[in-house]
Amino acid sequence: MVKKNTCVFISGQGSNLKNLILYSRDNNFPIKICLVISSNKKAKGLTYAKRFNIPYIYIDTQRQNYENKILFNLRKYKISFICLAGYMKIISSNILRNYKKKVINIHPSLLPKFKGLNTYSRMLKNNEKKAGCTVHFVDEKLDNGIIIVQKSFFINNNDDEINLKSQTQKLEKKAYPQAIIQIFRNY
């Protein structure tokens, strides 16, 4: 199988990055992670790029034209697929134009519910019955594109933000690889 050259964008912990790196070591998994881009110089996720010898770049998103630097590097590493994993910036329409239906994201709620930040506290406040995660294609609007995979669980009365997060993140580790396999199944 010819693996798709993939870039993972991160800003923080990188637990999804680590999970995808481990999956991608399997010959039958459709992507090869060739580049990691971080908007945070101190992101813990960068330690996984280092540990697994994957090229990584810090992008200072305060700088003008930082998107050009991203595009330059995506071309340099012949990237054909992009996974956002805890990336805290909006992907510009310029990049999306170049990577139409090739950018996916993971979000810690059952979209279209709870787009944006602070999903767990908003769910609890709203007395939601279910929580979960969503892998979706990225379009120009925040947390909006076509849904690929969704996984859910029931919220208990005694659940707090901390254990909602840990249950959600456990499901994310199954949902993200499953979505990638699903996308490339027919290629």
Active site residue 136: no
The set of residues, in sequence order, having a beta carbon less than 8 Å from that of 186 and lying 6+ positions away, is none
Residue 175 in contact with ligand GRF, rule: CB under 6 A = no
Q: What are phi and psi of 7, to 5 degrees?
A: -115, 135
Q: What are phi and psi of 125, to 5 degrees?
A: -60, -35
Binding residue for ligand GRF, selected from 86, 132, 145, 177, defined by CB under 6 A: 86
Which residue, 75 or 130, is less far from ligand GRF as judged by CB?
Answer: 130
Dig out the tokens for 29 from the structure: 């998994």
Stretch that binds ligand GRF, among 5-13, 26-34, 69-77, 149-157 (CB under 6 A): 5-13
Binding residue for ligand GRF, selected from 4, 7, 9, 12, defined by CB under 6 A: 12
Which residue, 47 or 156, is less far from ligand GRF as judged by CB?
Answer: 47
Stretch that binds ligand GRF, among 15-23, 26-34, 91-99, 149-157 (CB under 6 A): 15-23
Binding residue for ligand GRF, selected from 5, 61, 144, 169, defined by CB under 6 A: 169
Check if the beta carbon of residue 123 is closer than 8 Å to that of residue 155: yes
Binding residue for ligand GRF, selected from 79, 82, 95, 108, defined by CB under 6 A: 108
Alpha carbon distance 55, 52 (integer Å):
9
Which residue, 16 or 167, is less far from ligand GRF as judged by CB?
Answer: 16
Check if the beta carbon of residue 132 is closer than 8 Å to that of residue 112: no
Going through the chain in order, the beta strands assigned E by DSSP cover 4-10, 31-38, 56-58, 81-84, 103-107, 130-137, 147-154
Per-residue x/- mask for ligand GRF, residues 121 to 140, rule CB under 6 A? ------------x-------
Dig out the tokens for 25 from the structure: 């070591």
* 119 membership: H or E segment, kind and range: helix 119-125
Interface positions with ligand GRF (CB under 6 A): 10, 12-17, 45, 85-86, 106-108, 133, 169, 172
Instruction: List residues with catalytic annotation.
Output: 107
